[in-house]
Amino acid sequence: MTHALEFSILGRPRAWLDGEAVPLGRPQQQATLAMLLMHRGTAVSMGQMVDGVCGEAPPSRAPHMIRTYVWRLRRALRGTAGTASGTADPASAPDRDQVIVTAGNGYLIRVDEDRLDAARAERLERQAAACRAQDPGRAQRLLAEALALWQGEPLAGVPGAFAARQRLRLEEQRLLLLHRRLEAELALGRHKDAVPELLHLTETYPLREGFRAQLMLALYRAGRQAEALRVYTDTRELLDTELGIAPGPELRDLHLRILGADPALATPSHGARPPVRAASRPPVPAQLPCPPADFVGRAGQLERLLSLPDEEGRTGAAVAVVCGMPGMGTSAFALHAAHRLRPHYPDGQLYADLRESAEPALVLRSFLTALGVAPLPADPEELAALFRSALADRRLLVLLDNAPCTAELRPLLPAGPGCAVVIAGRGPLPGLAGATRVHLPLFGEEEALRLLSRVAGPDRVAAEPDAARRLVTAAAGLPLAVRSLAARLAARPAWTPASLAARTGDERRRLAELRVGDLDVPSAFAADYTRLDAEHARAFRLFALAARPHLPADAGAALLARTTERAEALLEALVDAGLLTSPAPGAYDCHPLLRLYGQERCRAEETGFQREAALRRLREYEARSPLAAVVALSA
Q: What is the pLDDT of residue 335?
A: 92
In order of 530, 569, 574, the CA distances from 527 in angstroms are 6, 22, 14
Cα separation, 455 vs 55, whole angstroms: 36
Cα separation, 117 vs 136, whole angstroms: 23
Q: What is the pLDDT of residue 358?
A: 63
Residues 6+ apart with CB under 8 A from 325: 426, 478, 578, 579, 581, 591, 594
Q: What is the pLDDT of residue 407?
A: 67
Cα separation, 277 vs 318, whole angstroms: 30
Residues of the chain where predicted confidence (pLDDT) is lower than 70: 1-3, 79-97, 268-282, 312-313, 356-358, 405, 407, 626-635
Q: What is the pLDDT of residue 280?
A: 45
Cα separation, 48 vs 51, whole angstroms: 5
Cα separation, 350 vs 400, whole angstroms: 8
Cα separation, 440 vs 182, whole angstroms: 47
Cα separation, 242 vs 207, whole angstroms: 9
Cα separation, 150 vs 486, whole angstroms: 47
Instruction: Report the amino acid identity of residue 204.
Output: T
Rounded to 10°, the helix 136-147/161-187 angle is 150
Cα atoms in the 13 Å half-sphere on the side-chain side of 312: 0
Q: How many CB atoms lie within 10 A of CB 466?
A: 10
Cα separation, 62 vs 330, whole angstroms: 34
Q: What is the pLDDT of residue 161?
A: 83
Cα separation, 453 vs 465, whole angstroms: 10
In order of 249, 562, 605, the CA distances from 541 in angstroms are 53, 15, 9
Q: What is the pLDDT of residue 418?
A: 87
Cα separation, 369 vs 597, whole angstroms: 41
For 507-538, the DSSP string reads HHHHHHHSEETTEEHHHHHHHHHTTS-HHHHH
Q: What is the pLDDT of residue 424?
A: 92
Longest pairwise C-alpha distance within the chain: 92
**Domains parsed from the chain with CATH numbers:** 5-117 (1.10.10.10), 119-265 (1.25.40.10), 299-439 (3.40.50.300), 445-524 (no CATH), 532-633 (1.10.10)
pTM for the whole structure: 0.55
DSSP-assigned letter for residue 205: S
